[in-house]
Amino acid sequence: MTPAARISAAIEVLDDIIQRRRPASDALKDWGLSRRFAGSKDRAAVASLVYDALRRKASSSFAMASETPRALVLGMLAGLRGMNAAEIAGLCSGENHAPAPLDSDELALLTAFSTQGAPDWMRADVPEWLWPAFEQAFGAAAVEEGQALAARAPIDLRANRLKTNRDGLLASLEHLAPEAGAWSPDALRFQPGHDGRGPSLQTEPGFFAGEFEIQDEGSQLVTLLAGARPGDTVVDLCAGAGGKTLALAALMKNSGRLFATDLDSRRLAPLHERLARSGATQVEIRIPRSRGHEPLADIAGEVDLVLVDAPCTGSGTWRRNPDAKWRVRPGALAERIKDQAEVLARAARLVKPGGRIAYITCSVLPDENDEAVRAFLGRHSGFAAVELGDVLVSQEGDFSLLGRFATQYGLQLSPRRTGTDGFYLTCLTRSG
């Protein structure tokens, strides 16, 4: 496919996503299945164009005075990829599957491409109904925070301490030009290329050997700050595919007891293979037998640390899932808040006196973060938030610089602040 044909394909896929309100991954899969002529590079290029257009959906619609898929893709080429009007016009010849030629209005708007005068939520590329929450979270920096969440994400990996260390991994992956992470002592980073893609890390020998896992540096950092120690009894209560479980196992040096569970047992399926690859030997997977069954009832009140990677809107991961922010609705947020209350109540029953709950979300919305903690503390008088300063001075080192990003009860990371996904962490201790 030519670059122009790929742009036409991206417009077609984007139209499917918008018209049918479906995940981008589903629309791209269907497009690929119906276009057998498209090779892997073509499919990757089209996907990159689609995701980039979704990242800048609101700002492009303002600058192009239109919300059509064509306008969104053309606006993205100017606003995110930095192409000028002449370059974009050259791709829109109308020939050989290229988009139709630019009309006079499109040419004028691309020539003067600007979001000046746009509402803040459009400049930030944040859904309008969520904008008050963004302003509550970030104040005067809300537009810049939204713009950072509308950028492309790097690819981060975590060196598996059970197999290697970051210096060893830097050497073995030198041919891919990694960077050391800024915060996590285990993190390496790969910047996206011009087309938004990074290296194919899952084909590296070190991946098959279990030397690393792909994991955002923010996810690594909040897991580290949760405070798991060798010899502890630890529960990963919403383990999913097990990214944080694997990180906990490495931090605990395969010592102690580590339980992984999830209410949706299907999400745990990949963890078995990942554990075998990682060399983690102390992890026990507990699968609920039915709805309402507590698979950890036998250790209630005995756990040193319960890590709650709570279900949330995922607003902190919009760089990686740009279509998700345009599909989330108020009802979904209300449902997630209910889920968060329920999972925190489960954690409270499991943790022992003097033990700790680490409440984590990949959200930047206060309703899912500080407000969820406030509600929990109001219902559970035996718990208190750990002072952030005590959380940031850990056995892994002094992370006190992160104190600049304190909230009332915890810590808020974001792409603009820390170069990571938007993770939130609060640690809660049980007094009795």
Residue 284 in 3-state DSSP? strand
Domain with 176, as residue range(s), is: 156-214
- Give the C-alpha separation, 242 to 313, whole Å: 19
pLDDT tens column, 243-273 = 999 999 999 999 999 999 998 889 999 999 9
Of the pLDDT bands very low, low, confident and very high (cuts 50, 70, 90), residue 142 is very high
Residue 245 and residue 270 in one domain: yes
Helices (H) and strands (E) in the chain, counts: 20, 14
What's residue 396's pLDDT?
A: 81
- Tell whether residue 52 is among the known ligand binding residues: no
Of the pLDDT bands very low, low, confident and very high (cuts 50, 70, 90), residue 96 is confident
pTM: 0.94
Residue 325 has pLDDT above 70, yes or no: yes
- Tell whether residue 262 is among the known ligand binding residues: yes
Residue 300 and residue 398 in one domain: yes
Residue 330 and residue 369 in one domain: yes
- Give the C-alpha separation, 182 to 418, whole Å: 8
Residue 225 and residue 342 in one domain: yes
- Give the C-alpha separation, 136 to 141, whole Å: 10
Contact 335, 417 (CB under 8 A): no
Residue 332 and residue 379 in one domain: yes
Q: Which of 256, 277, 273 is nearest to 160 (CA)?
A: 277
Neighbours of 261 (CB within 10 A): 21
Q: Give me the CATH number covering residue 418.
A: 3.40.50.150
pLDDT tens column, 327-348 = 998 899 999 999 999 999 999 9
Q: Which residues are catalytic?
A: 362
Residue 106 has pLDDT above 90, yes or no: yes
What's residue 195's pLDDT?
A: 66
Contact 213, 274 (CB under 8 A): yes
Taking 3-state DSSP, the helix, strand and coil percentages for the chain, each rounded to the nearest 5, stand at 50, 15, 35
- Is pLDDT larger for residue 397 or for residue 270? 270
Q: Number of folded domains in the chain?
A: 4
pLDDT tens column, 31-58 = 988 887 788 888 989 999 999 999 999 9
Q: Which of 93, 55, 88 is nearest to 74 (CA)?
A: 88
What's residue 231's pLDDT?
A: 97
Q: 82-104: b or e for each residue (b if 16 or more CB lie within 10 Å)?
A: ebebeebbebbeeeeebbeebee
Share of the chain above pLDDT 70, in %: 99
Residue 402 and residue 361 in one domain: yes
